[in-house]
């Protein structure tokens, strides 16, 4: 497969990523901006390309359209060969390498380390619900600002 | 009704499960032969789902055959080869055919099996599959939100590897699976008992073992070749130096005996480890040795010739 996922090591620190994220937090302005952009196909394509360029470079983004980065220490789970969104598989080698490619570090080992060092280890306990495969190649920022990602991540109760 | 559920509810019983790998052909007797050796000695036996990403008889078909042969099946189901439609469909089918237990996991990557060119599916992950099954059973809904008429009643299990990095997060990881709906968990091979005891202690501290019964993975290393294979060829298996030294320290012809002795000692220790509800035996084709192993470790009593009838 041309587009086979492989673990990616983020190019910026977790601390910087959390800080940058604060600038993306949804607000009424972003919500209106997202609606405006989505209403104009050419502008939406341009916007989505921009998002792709930035996130591909920084996080190995594959444009699943339903970004999990804020709850995985900004290590992208869609770069896991099994695209696991809820934590590492049992095949991680003793040295932390991926079972599919031993020359690469398991992205969930990276995620646990980054989230932990930022005091966000609890994020990994959240349930990531099954992703909507129709969102591939769409902008996750527009989805996020429009509130469509709500419910994608939920706390698991005892009930 | 699941006999495994009843066994897990019986606090005084050290629960034992084994594993039956379906054949690579259409011979139903392969399952019956293995069942004969295990019947009466184990509480249930896993039926693997194209284990190691190698194509075999389906776990659903083999589970039905195993049940007919008198051993309660635990049907394994992986996310590797099926999307969410096929996963839910097989789960419903298993319930309709009377499969009382399911073990839900992500599965090995196809690149490690006999069809490395296959398309990896992984539409859901293991945690999402456990969550999906629990909602089908307890809330009577599919992922689509559509209702189920008659609900399934299976016992839901999963797997965990306490020894794989990030090791500090592995107890939390099982806690997450338990919260998603897993009622029991079988582990990867346990050779490193102190590390395993640390993991179960963390689970007990978090109250996980009360909701999710831990069955420790155990099996004998029969040869130096198998030792080498487990040490380097199987993802996520950790064989400590001490175990390797013991096996290398005996003459070649006595390696199997030593491996069985280590296995027996491990079983004894596990039976005395707080938070461990039982063992999952991995004997790969040596099912006839299960009764002897259980008696030597004083986990089960009895005469196999009588009990097997």
Which residues in chain A have their CB less than 8 angstroms from residue B164's CB?
A: 88, 90-94
What are B36-63's pLDDT values in tens digits? 999 999 999 999 999 999 999 999 999 9
Q: Taking 70 as the threshold, does the pLDDT of residue B293 lie above it?
A: yes
Q: Taking 60 as the threshold, does the pLDDT of residue B65 lie above it?
A: yes
Residue B303: pLDDT band by 50, 70, 90 thresholds? low
| Subunit contact B112:A112, Cβ cutoff 8 A | no
Domain membership flag for residue A56: yes
The number of C-beta contacts closer than 8 angstroms across A and B is: 116
| Subunit contact A91:B120, Cβ cutoff 8 A | no
- pLDDT on residue A2: 52
Fold of B3-219+275-307: TIM Barrel (3.20.20)
Please answer whether residues B26 and B51 qualify as being in contact, where contact means their C-beta atoms are separated by less than 8 angstroms.
no
Residue B108: pLDDT band by 50, 70, 90 thresholds? very high
Report, as an integer, the average pLDDT of B107-124: 96
What are A111-120's pLDDT values in tens digits? 999 999 999 9
Q: State the Cα–Cα distance between residues B155 and B136, nearest whole angstrom.
A: 12
Q: Using CB atoms within 10 A of its CB, is residue B295 exposed (0-12), middle (13-18) or buried (19+)? A: middle
- pLDDT on residue B308: 42
Across B108-262, the runs of DSSP E, i.e. the strands, are 155-160, 184-189, 213-218
Domain membership flag for residue A9: no
What are B130-155's pLDDT values in tens digits? 999 999 999 999 999 999 999 999 99
Q: Taking 50 as the threshold, does the pLDDT of residue A82 lie above it?
A: yes
Domain membership flag for residue A8: no
- pLDDT on residue B283: 94
Q: Taking 70 as the threshold, does the pLDDT of residue A159 lie above it?
A: no
Residue B305: pLDDT band by 50, 70, 90 thresholds? very low
What are A1-53's pLDDT values in tens digits? 457 899 999 999 999 999 999 999 999 999 999 999 999 999 999 999 999 99
- pLDDT on residue B302: 73
Nearest Cα to A85, choosing from B155, B129, B85?
B129
Q: Which residues contact B241 (CB under 8 A, 6 or more apart)?
A: none
Read off the DSSP letter of residue B230.
Answer: I
Which residues in chain B have their CB less than 8 angstroms from residue A91's CB?
A: 108-109, 161, 164, 235-236
Report, as an integer, the average pLDDT of B219-245: 92
- pLDDT on residue B233: 79
Domain membership flag for residue A108: yes
Average pLDDT, chain A: 94
Report, as an integer, the average pLDDT of B2-30: 96
- Counted domains in chain A: 1
Residue range(s) defining the domain that contains residue A99: 14-149
| Subunit contact A127:B188, Cβ cutoff 8 A | no
| Subunit contact B112:A106, Cβ cutoff 8 A | no
């Amino acid at each position: 497969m041309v587009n086979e996922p492989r673990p990616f090591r983020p190019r910026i620190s977790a601390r910087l990523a959390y800080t940058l994220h604060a600038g993306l937090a949804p607000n009424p302005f972003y919500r209106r901006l997202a609606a405006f952009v989505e209403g104009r196909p050419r502008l939406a394509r341009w916007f989505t390309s921009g998002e792709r360029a930035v996130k591909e470079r920084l996080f190995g983004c594959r444009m699943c359209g339903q970004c999990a980065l804020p709850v995985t220490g900004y290590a992208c789970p869609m770069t896991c060969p099994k695209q696991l969104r809820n934590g590492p598989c049992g095949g991680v080698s003793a040295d932390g390498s991926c079972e599919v490619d031993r020359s690469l570090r398991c992205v969930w080992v990276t995620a646990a380390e980054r989230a932990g060092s930022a005091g966000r280890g609890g994020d990994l306990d959240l349930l990531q619900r099954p992703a909507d495969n129709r969102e591939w190649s769409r902008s996750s920022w527009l989805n996020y600002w429009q509130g469509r990602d709500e419910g994608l991540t939920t706390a698991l109760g005892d009930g | 009704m699941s006999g495994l559920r009843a066994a897990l509810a019986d606090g005084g019983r050290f629960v034992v499960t084994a594993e039956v790998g379906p054949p690579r052909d259409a011979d139903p007797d392969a399952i019956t032969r293995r069942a004969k050796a295990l019947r009466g000695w184990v509480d249930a036996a896993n039926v693997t789902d194209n284990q190691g990403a190698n194509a075999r008889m389906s776990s659903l078909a083999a589970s039905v055959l195993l049940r007919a042969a008198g051993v309660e099946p635990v049907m394994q189901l992986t996310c590797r080869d099926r999307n969410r439609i096929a996963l839910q469909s097989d789960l419903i089918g298993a319930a309709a055919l009377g499969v009382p237990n399911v073990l839900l996991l992500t599965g090995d990557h196809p690149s490690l099996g006999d069809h490395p060119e296959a398309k990896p599916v992984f539409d859901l992950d293991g945690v999402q599959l456990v969550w999906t099954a629990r909602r089908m059973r307890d809330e009577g809904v599919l992922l689509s939100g559509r209702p189920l008429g008659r609900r399934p009643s299976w016992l839901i299990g999963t797997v965990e590897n306490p020894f794989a990095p990030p090791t500090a997060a592995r107890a939390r990881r099982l806690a997450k699976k338990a919260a998603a709906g897993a009622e029991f968990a079988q582990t990867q091979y346990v050779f490193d008992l102190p590390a395993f005891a640390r993991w179960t202690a963390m689970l007990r501290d978090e109250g996980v073992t009360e909701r999710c019964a831990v069955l420790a993975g155990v099996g004998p290393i029969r040869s130096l070749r198998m030792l080498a294979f487990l040490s380097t060829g199987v993802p996520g298996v950790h064989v400590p130096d001490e175990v390797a030294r013991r096996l290398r320290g005996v003459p070649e012809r006595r390696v199997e005996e030593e491996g069985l002795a280590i296995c027996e000692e491990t079983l004894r220790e596990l039976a005395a480890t707080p938070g461990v509800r039982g063992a999952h035996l991995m004997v790969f084709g040596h099912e006839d040795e299960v009764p002897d192993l259980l008696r030597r470790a004083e986990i089960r009593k009895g005469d196999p010739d009588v009990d097997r009838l």
